[in-house]
A = this chain, B = another copy of it.
Amino acid sequence: MLKDGSSTSARGFRAGAVAAGIKASGNPDLGMWASEAPCVAVATFTQNSFPAAPVILSRDRLRTHPTAHAVVFNAGNANACNGSTGLDDAREMSELAAQALGIAPELILVASTGIIGHRLPMDLVRTGIPRIQLSPDGGHAAALAIMTTDTRPKECAVSLEIDGREVRIGAMTKGVGMIHPNMATMLAFIGTDARLEPRFAATALKHAVDRTFNMTTVDGDTSTNDSCFLLANGLSGAPTLVGGSAKAERFVVALEAVCTDLARKMAADGEGASKLLQVDVTGAASEADARAAARAVVGSSLVKAALHGEDPNWGRVFAAVGNSAARVDTTRAALWIGSIQVARDGGGTGVSKDEARAQMHASEVTMRVDLGLGSASARAWGCDLTEAYVVENSAYST
């Protein structure tokens, strides 16, 4: 893990942002993230049936060619549910970025995040884009500019060695509400100077996303704008990675580490959240079962509220597992809160409530459900449900 890593940590990546006036706060809200060289580009997008205009545009472009040069993005307005004018606006946004960078619009991807159902203020986008200055240390500025209700930027980078060459992966994400990713998180930008064979890039990204962002939930609502981009420009000079080799496998592990770090940061910064919850499901009959059960626990409003109250109300955890599609045997399930086993054989262990409660006092709480049926496992991340979540989402239009 690189100290002070960002989405521009890999060679040849630059970023920049300006305050265009889209966010009411006046904070930076419009930016670009670009590679000096063209990239193999793959992405995962929301499965919401009302995808935002930038999702439709970016998805279509990558379907034709897995190649891109840059992503232009804004926060403060999702450009979602705006009918066909939304698509025109997304397209114009890409054309303005292409003009600024001196490349073809087809090589530009677009990402927007913010309120749904309001037209993008194109006058602000038109005056803002030419003002963006790209720089190799612009990753931090970009990470600030993609924030909406996030309280802090989310970035990280790693380096690994491939055939004697240092390869880097740098990334940033945003998203702390309407977070229940289904293919990708709200917005994620991952840039690497590795050289990736396109099919391997797609497989590696899907693998990482499925085990990280897709195992994160804040409030059970999948956004209309989820987009996770992986751009690989090959500037490390390391040989092309193709699926199946040991070095490709090392890249997959590193990519998953980056995504895990960012997924945890998103869950920890969930709207109103005071605690990060990590749930491990072990002993499942299948990996699909383990994933479903882990997601059900981190997604349960009642588990989340109990976590907030530091209440070791383990019946709610089993009830949540019982609401997933996972196969269970009610006489075999066991549960640990932190290091304390609170249930075995489907019933309570009789451990004192105070002893279990003490395990929930930290800002990071772990639970493990063992289903006692097989050897499959999965891990998911979520957060507590607090009064602040309700205030944040009822008092303001976000």
Binding site for B on A (CB under 8 A): 48-51, 78, 80-86, 115-119, 177-178, 180, 182, 219-224, 299-302, 305-309, 311, 313-316, 318-324, 326-328, 330-331, 333, 343, 345-348, 384-387, 389-397
Contacts and interface: CB of A to CB of B under 8 A. Distances in A.
Nearest to A118: B348
Contacts of A309: 393-396
> Which 3 residue pairs across A and B have the least CB separation, nearest first?
A116-B315, A309-B394, A117-B315
Contacts of A222: 319, 322-323
Contacts of A393: 301-302, 305-306, 309, 385
B81 A347 contact: yes
A322 to B, nearest CB: 4
Given A49-B326, A319-B80, A347-B83, A220 B220 contact: yes
Where chain A touches its partner, the secondary structure class is loop
13 contacts: A49-B324, A49-B327, A50-B322, A81-B318, A81-B346, A83-B331, A83-B347, A177-B302, A178-B316, A221-B300, A224-B322, A311-B397, A385-B390
B117 A347 contact: yes
A327 B49 CA distance: 8
A20 B315 CA distance: 23
Given A50-B321, A80-B319, A343 B224 contact: no
A48 B319 contact: yes
A119 B393 CA distance: 38
Contacts of A221: 300-302, 316, 319-320, 323
Given A81-B330, A318-B81, A306 B394 contact: yes
Contact of A347 (B82, B182, B316, B328): B82
Contacts of A319: 48, 50, 80-81, 116, 178, 221-224
Contacts of A84: 331
A142 to B, nearest CB: 25
Contact of A397 (B80, B300, B313): B313
Contacts of A48: 319, 322-323
A171 B301 CA distance: 29
